[in-house]
Structure 1
């Protein structure tokens, strides 16, 4: 996954949100070109969100496809009251939750007690950004779920704090607090991870 994790400037993001919402509404009316623009405009945001929320970069593309399939299935009910991005991220969140439920109900078929570690050992190493991406996912996975979601929504996907608060369903001050605590935890974990390397050099 080679997508930027830096949020766009607020004015450009607001303009992009307005355009994506307009494309979603046009796609609801049956415009295939608008549907394509809608997917292109929001694909990376959904991909980043589901990758970090699920903690499983290997499943991120499937979850992203599932999100858009669900969105187009319910597009006829979308009226533009919320931005298309916020609406789509709420669908993505349900897709991730459903994937967790499905995985919990599915019997484990691997002999090893930790099948995820076994799969990760078979992945190619030495690819640009591979180790950094896995390290970031590991650090985020260690955060409490509420802090992780607030951090990902605001710092990775780039939602304004106010919009993230409405999306999560909590006061804006709570979102700010969760992001601040998540950032402090990540900085501490990075410092602890870098300390042995600094001593060895």
Structure 2
């Protein structure tokens, strides 16, 4: 059955992919380099995709455990980064499904307030970072995912489509809509002092 999904090809000068292929043979140095090279992108992607900053490190660890367990099947048909972000996406989906099946004890994120109070707010960029997180949280999940994949983790659109499990045109459309929404939210925030909610 033919798919309209693109297949990203690994380039020989992609070090993470080279390390992933070397790690298949059990080379501990290659495994370490593979994990170190891609860990920041995985954490960043999971943080925004799951909208749960508290669990991002745990989900990233689970992503790498899954990846290392199936590394012997990685053949380099896509970049290691795309392959790993696809695993990260499935890890987040599994986590959300598991959480939805369990009863919740509280619907308030008190830890977020305490964590923000504990951070030194006078550092350059801190307020901008918090504002960006708030604006991204206001985006619908599909647009946030596409924006994070392409604009924050730097994936090309074709690789973001593979990681997101959708056609390239869909990724482009979601990113364009996310940008337009973020501009509207920034304009509203500057006028009222707080970002408004966004309809899906």
TM-score with structure 2 setting the length: 0.81
2:150–2:157 contact (8 Å) kept in structure 1: yes
Gaps of 5+ in 1: 1-13
Q: 2:23 aligns with which of 9, 23, 27?
A: 27
Q: How far apart are residue 176 of structure 1 and its match?
A: 1.6
Determine the structure 2 residue equivalent to 1:160. 156
Shift of 1:181: 0.9
Runs (5+) with no aligned partner, structure 2: 1-10, 194-200
Q: Return the structure number with greater helix share.
A: 1
Q: CA separation in 1, counterparts of 2:175 and 2:12? A: 25
Match of 2:64 in 1: 68
Contact 2:49 2:92 in 1 (8 A): yes
Scaled by the length of structure 1, what TM-score is found?
0.81
1:130 CA drift (Å):
4.7
Q: Which has the higher contact order (CA 8 A, sep 6+)?
A: 2
Give CA deviations for 1:137-196 in whole Å, capped at 9, x if unaligned. 221122122211111111011111122223334332322221111001011101111123
**1:59-107 C-alpha deviation (Å, 9 max, x unpaired):** 1111111111111111111111111101100110011111111211222
| Corresponding residue pairs, total | 179
Q: Is the 8 A contact 1:67 1:91 kept in 2?
A: yes
Between the aligned partners of 2:101 and 2:164, the Cα distance in structure 1 is 26
How large is the RMSD of aligned CA atoms in angstroms?
1.9
Could you tell me which residue of structure 1 aligns to residue 114 of structure 2?
122
1:151·1:182 contact (CA, 8 Å) conserved in 2? yes
Deviations 1:39-66 (A, max 9, x none): 1110111011001101122211111111
Moved over 4 A (4+): none
Match of 1:89 in 2: 85
Q: 1:58 aligns with which of 50, 54, 65?
A: 54
